Amino acid sequence: IIAAHGDRGGLMTNRLAGTIAGKISRTGRFADVAVGLLRGDPLLEEVGSSLPGDAVRVYPLFMSCGYYVENAIPECLKIGPGGLDAAGRKVEVMKPIGVRPVMARIVESIARHTAAEAGFKPDESGILLAAHGSTKDPSSRQATRAVARQIADKQVFNRIDCAFLEEPPFLGEAVSALAGPLVVVGMFIGEGMHGHDDLRAAVTDAGRKDIALAPPLARWPDLAAAACDDILAAPGN
């Protein structure tokens, strides 16, 4: 199962999940491949109960090991002790795409592309990773800063910072305060309220010409390819 949030406006998330599912299905490595959404159609809970077989592997299209991966997905799939669901099948929830080492490479690639389009020189520019964040769960912050450290280690860009929607440093303040040129990359799989509306509003409200907003992660072809590689490289495939 390719599991995604599927919130309002998240059409690119749903499309990305479908693209990954199609690629994996065509390999013939699994008896069945499906997309399941926490919010929307097809619902994850219904997909999980209808799949055949004695074992199920779940690949979460999320940016961190937060509430949705650790709690919501297991609850929807009724995963109990020993990783067994209500039908006695073994259900494995893989690590989400956002914490995979490949994410730093993808984000750097998007930042390089955006800088070039804007006419910015990377070694004179900064990257601002914009993520959800939470005062209740450090997962989003930790995953975002891990990606930032990996990109910083390559010393391609002048600097790299992180900002969040729901915890300090806040996105709006960072966009206003950080020196340019600046490339803003949204650390969201979806292109809904947070991944599109909030990011674009923050950049627009700053009213600066030395800031470039990167395209959403879901539009980057390397993301689907990386997810497929992860799934097919997992032990037992």
Order across the sheet with 2-4: list the strands.
35-37, 2-4, 55-60, 90-93
* pLDDT value, residue 221: 85
* pLDDT value, residue 204: 86
Tell which residue, 191, 215, 211, has the closest CA to residue 202: 211
Rounded to two decimals, what is the model's pTM? 0.90
Mean pLDDT for the chain? 91
Q: Is the Cβ–Cβ distance between 234 and 201 less than 8 Å?
A: no
**Mean predicted confidence (pLDDT) in 85-111:** 93
* pLDDT value, residue 10: 47
* pLDDT value, residue 58: 97
pLDDT at 192 over 80: no
Q: Is the Cβ–Cβ distance between 143 and 63 less than 8 Å?
A: yes
The torsion defined by the Cα of 199, 214, 195 and 143, in degrees rounded to 10, comes to -100
pLDDT at 20 over 90: yes
What band does 11 get if pLDDT is binned at 50, 70 and 90?
Answer: low
28 burial type by CB count under 10 A (0-12 exposed, 13-18 middle, 19+ buried): exposed
pLDDT at 99 over 80: yes
What band does 197 get if pLDDT is binned at 50, 70 and 90?
Answer: confident
**Mean predicted confidence (pLDDT) in 162-176:** 94
Higher local confidence (pLDDT), 69 or 13: 69
d(CA 87, CA 167): 40
d(CA 90, CA 111): 39
Higher local confidence (pLDDT), 38 or 191: 38
* pLDDT value, residue 12: 58
What band does 53 get if pLDDT is binned at 50, 70 and 90?
Answer: confident
